[in-house]
Structure 1
Amino acid sequence: MSPPTVSARPVARHGWARAVAAVLTGLAVMVLIAALGLWAAGAADLPDGAFARVVVATVVTAVGGTLELSGNAGALARTRAGLTVLPLSVTLAGALVIGAGFLRPLRHRAVASARELAGWAARIAVLWLCALIGLALAARQTFAVDVGNGTLSDLTGLFDLEPKIGFTTDVPLTVLFGLLWLAGVLVLALLVAPGAPLPGRLLRCQESVRPAAHAMVVLLLGYVALGLVVALVSAATRGQPAETLALILLGLPNLVWLALTLGQGATWHGRVDGPFGLPMPHVLDEILRTPDVATLNLRTLTAHDGRMWWLVVTDVVLLLAVAFGMAARSPARVPAWQHAVRLGVALALTVFMVCLLCRISAHYGLSLLGIGDLGGGLSGEVFLRPRLWQAVSLGALWGLATGFLGALLARPVRRPGEVGTP
């Protein structure tokens, strides 16, 4: 009797059912976090049952979608508004869940063909495209702006100028940026996960790219974890639990990744004007709430609060830790200077992405007969922008220095490629 034959082709365990599960789970987590964060921020009291649509709009912006703000105040008046901000807590949660769903069927594999990976990613992309279109079409709402009592209220009543502001989504741009976001998540998942299979031609990335990419993800998640601990301690000791919960669920990475760049010496420019504010500690609001554009860096921070020098200490400790881990995961034959170069490039790219993701811009105003801004406390502006290339250059220098020191610290550790002495 001849022995049974075994097929060399692996059983496909990443079909449409698993793709549906990955996409739906990611969306459910993002919607849940956005809803809880907006509820903690007080958005549940929005009129006309707008809370659900605002939640959907938050998820849309979290994946790179574009919101178009519009205003209307009758024939004799006009409103102006604009908003550019990413709720990075929602973004991060969705990326982690969808990335894990993408990698789960590929675990326990050493190599996967490019065709197999492309087919599995295409299934997720098709379902994600359908979800994006549905979200983009649902994210639209109009609100009436309460102008309170006084002269402005009398004018709006006299001329029937009830100011309104609303939002819709740019469906084509939302689909485009949403698919690019998904592609970035899937590529990063393959590059970062230690056990993720790669095509044979890309196996060299396991030595050159994967340790550095993994180190940067650990760095960013470490900052989020540290920020979460600080936020919870602050809520327990200083009160305001609702505001703290809203910050954690909507914008914690926005704040802690900003701190990462500030600790390296980067400079941001910004301003807070009017009733609007940023979800940030009081010291940042004090610095940015000025008549002119304010400068935000270590010098201005420590002038208000000397404890802000701890940002530098935090950067040193966490960067040395991830540099040590990167060197320990790399082959023993890689020299220290090469570790430094790889971490310098990786940190420069990471800082570049942080600067793009953490930008904030929001404004609103009401004018009558084209004359000035009315509304007193209604008009306002918030923006925060980095000095981009200075931040990227500083990130590269920090990466070079800590990468070299981390490689020296990792020398006593046994690493891949070494042969033990009998």
Structure 2
Amino acid sequence: MSARTSSGPVVSRHGWAHALVTVIGALAAMGAVAALGLWAAGAADLPGGAFPQVLAATLVTAVGGTVRLSGDAGGLAGTEGGLAVIPLSVTLAGALAVGWGFLRPLRRRAVAGAPELGGWAARIAVLWLLVLVGLGLAARHTFEIPLGDGPLGDLGELFGFRPVVGFAADVPLTVLIGLVWLAGVLLVALMVSGGAPLPGGLLRFQASVRPAARAMVRLLLAAVVIALVVALVVAATRGHPVETFALILLGLPNVAWLALTVGLGATWDGRVEGPFGLPMPQVLDEVLRTPELSELNLGTLVEHDGARWWWLLVADAVLLLAAAFMMAALSPADVRVRQHAVRLAVALALTVLMICLMARVSARIGLSVLGIGDLGEGFSGEVLLTPRLWSALGLALLWGLAAGFAGASAARVLRRRGGGGTGR
């Protein structure tokens, strides 16, 4: 796109070349984070040179795509499993790269027409579609499962079966969800940016939406930064640096944002069984490693590991008050305190909804022989973590109202002392 149209107005340069740079940059950022995380997790030692395929599958799941597990062990045995988990460190890296690339050509603009923004987003979407198709086709592999020297191995020798398990991306679903993910990232980028232009028809929403959106994004990033500091301290003082490095690069936001909801009082139901576990602090694995579903909340964490977990509540209160104050400071002075409270409540509820949808975990794999299920303790297992959604949203609304009122009141006092007006 040229720098000046025939009619005269100046527009930004954001043609196909810039879209290609944006998509390649996002793919490189996600690939680097995922590759280093998988390497730290030991994926480089997978048999059959499966690392590239596992890397592709990780990128697929990072944008919400679906990877299905399958297995075969001949006529006398069967394998079954399922996997639903999003490596949010990789997701966050991709979202930041896409958002930056999308907004960069639009900087220093006051207004942009809807056709212009739509055309710029469409260029990125077309190239992103090709990336999703390529990743979906590459994310497939099959592994042979060693049965060992125990009874399961004896049965394998007796009946001559060699169980295999594999994974393959659901390409159509991955493309659909990946495009929805891209649209969400671009929309959030427009809402969060203080300098990106909006179509004239949307300018009236700028004062009410952008401060709340920016406050919530900074709240999420602050939670990740705090979790990163804690993880580095734990790695330096308690050992296991490689495992901690893998957690940071694959699932740090999973832990940070889960802790954010738990600090608000939310409850998650979960279960850990078999050799698998959650890539999280050991206490979470202890809380959830029970025969039946267990509750994960502040009460169960305190019960298992002492009163220090109440600091989650304190940290959430401080972060929310800071977010509320920042939102009020970014808003026009004539916005009333109760309007700030309502806007923060709605924004926090939407943020918690996003966390609940993206941080849930469901992983199950098992082997049965002659109809006898789950043979071999070293092979079968399950990890489950799901939120109690409605109670989490209700608590988010209450916290948002309280923090929004307190933060806006503090901002109003400071404005008065500074000589500026404020709304009531």
Report the TM range for the smaller structure's normalisation: over 0.9
Query: Cα distance, 1:376 vs. partner?
Result: 2.3
User: How far is the alpha carbon of 1:7 from its aligned partner?
Assistant: 5.8
1:332–1:417 Cα contact (<8 Å) kept: no
2-structure distance, mates of 1:361, 1:210: 34
Q: Matched residues in 1 for 2:11 and 2:98: separation?
A: 22
Equivalents in 2 of 1:133, 1:79: separation in Å? 28
* Shift in Å, 1:149: 1.4
Indicate how the Cα distance of structure 1 residues 26 and 417 shifts in structure 2: closer, same or farther if over 3 A, else same: farther
Query: Which position in structure 1 is the counterpart of 2:60?
Result: 60
Residue 235 (structure 1) aligns with: 235
Q: Are the equivalent residues in 2 in contact too, given 1:86–1:358 (CA < 8 A)? A: yes
TM value normalised by structure 2: 0.96
- The aligned counterpart of 1:314 is 315
* Paired residues, number: 415
For 2:419 and 2:200, locate their aligned partners in 1 and report how far apart those are by CA, in whole Å. Answer: 19
Q: 1:203 maps to which residue?
A: 203
Number of the residue aligned with 2:290: 290
Amino acid across the alignment from 1:89:
S
Shift of 1:246: 0.5
* Cα contact 2:77–2:368 (8 A) shared by 1: yes
Alpha-carbon offset, residue 226 of structure 1:
0.5
AA in 2 matched with 1:174: T
Match of 1:332 in 2: 333
3-state DSSP class of the match of 1:374?
coil
CA contact (8 A) 1:333 1:417 kept: no
Write the distance in 2 (CA, Å) between the matches of 1:291 and 1:419: 60
**Helix, strand or coil at the partner of 2:83:** strand
Aligned letter for 1:387? R
Inter-partner Cα distance in structure 2 for 1:417 and 1:16: 49
Q: What's the offset of the Cα at 1:125? A: 0.3
**What's the secondary structure of 2:373's corresponding residue?**
strand
State the Cα deviation string for residues 269-323 of structure 1 (Å, max 9, x = none). 1000000001010111110011111111111111122100000000000000010
Question: SS where residue 155 of structure 1 aligns?
Answer: helix
Contact kept, 8 Å, 1:267 with 1:296, in 2: the verdict is yes
Identity value in percent? 67
Which one-letter code corresponds to 1:371 in the other structure? I
RMSD: 1.6
- Measured in 2, the distance between the counterparts of 1:376 and 1:322 equals 47
Give the partner amino acid of 1:357.
Answer: M
For the residue of structure 1 that corresponds to 2:333, the secondary structure is: coil
What is the deviation of 1:205? 1.9
Paired position in structure 2 for 1:406: 407
SS state at 2:383 partner: strand
Match of 2:342 in 1: 341
What are the equivalent positions in structure 2 for 1:120-159 lying under 5 Å apart? 120-159=120-159
Deviations 1:92-113 (A, max 9, x none): 1000001100000000001100
Deviations 1:50-105 (A, max 9, x none): 00110010000000111111011111100011100000000010000011000000
Counterpart of 1:277, as a letter, is: G
Aligned 8 A contact 2:366 2:373 in 1 = no
Output the CA distance in 1 between the equivalents of 2:377 and 2:345. 48
Please give the alpha-carbon distance, in whole angstroms, between the structure 2 residues aligned to 1:174 and 1:287: 33
List per-residue Cα deviations over 1:173-220 (Å, max 9, x = no partner): 000000000000000000011111101111122211110011100000
- The residue type paired with residue 37 of structure 1 is G
> Which shows bigger deviation, 364-373 or 340-349?
364-373
Match of 1:357 in 2: 358
Is structure 2 residue 249 aligned with structure 1 residue 249?
A: yes
Which sits farther off after the overlay, 363-372 or 169-178? 363-372
1:78-157 to 2 correspondence within 5 Å? 78-157=78-157
What letter corresponds to residue 104 of structure 1 in structure 2?
A: R
Q: Which residue is 1:51 aligned to?
A: 51
**Does the 8 A contact of 1:70 with 1:81 survive in 2?**
yes
Is the Cα contact below 8 Å between 1:328 and 1:413 reproduced in 2? Answer: no
Structure 1 residue identity aligned to 2:157: G
Distance change (3 Å), C-alpha of 1:231 and 1:308: same
**Structure 1 residue identity aligned to 2:258:** L
The CA distance in 2 between the partners of 1:302 and 1:150, in whole Å, is 40
Residue pair 1:67, 1:169 contacting (<8 A) in 2 also: yes
1:340/1:400 contact within 8 Å kept:
yes
Whether contact under 8 Å (1:53, 1:139) holds in the other structure is yes
- In the other structure, the counterpart of 2:165 is 165
Contact 1:63–1:181, Cα closer than 8 Å, also in 2: yes
Contact kept? 1:103, 1:196, Cα under 8 Å: yes
Q: Residue 75 in 1 paired to residue 36 in 2?
A: no
Amino acid at match of 2:394: S
Structure 1 unaligned runs (5+)? 1-5
Equivalent residues of 1:219, 1:322 under 8 A apart: yes
- Alpha-carbon distance in 2 for matches of 1:419, 1:41: 55
Q: What is the distance in 1 between the residues matched to 2:12 and 2:297?
A: 52
Structure 1 position 419, deviation (Å): 7.0
For residues 45 and 130 of structure 1, the distance between their equivalents in structure 2, rounded to whole angstroms, comes to: 29
- Kept in 2, the 8 Å contact 1:213–1:346? The answer is yes
Is the 2:12–2:106 Cα contact (8 Å) retained in structure 1? no
Distance 1:413 1:329 in 2: 13
Query: What secondary structure is seen at the aligned counterpart in 2 of 1:410?
Result: helix
Report the counterpart of residue 385 of structure 2 in structure 1: 384
**In structure 2, what is the equivalent of residue 3 of structure 1?**
none
Measure the CA separation in 2 of the matches of 1:90 and 1:154.
Answer: 41
Name 1:223's counterpart in structure 2: 223
Q: CA–CA distance in 2 between the matches of 1:301 and 1:84?
A: 25
Quote the residue 2:214 is aligned against.
214
Counterpart secondary structure, 2:71: strand
| 2:272 paired with 1:272 | yes
DSSP-derived class of the 1:317 partner: helix
TM value normalised by structure 1 = 0.96
Q: Secondary structure at the match of 1:302?
A: helix
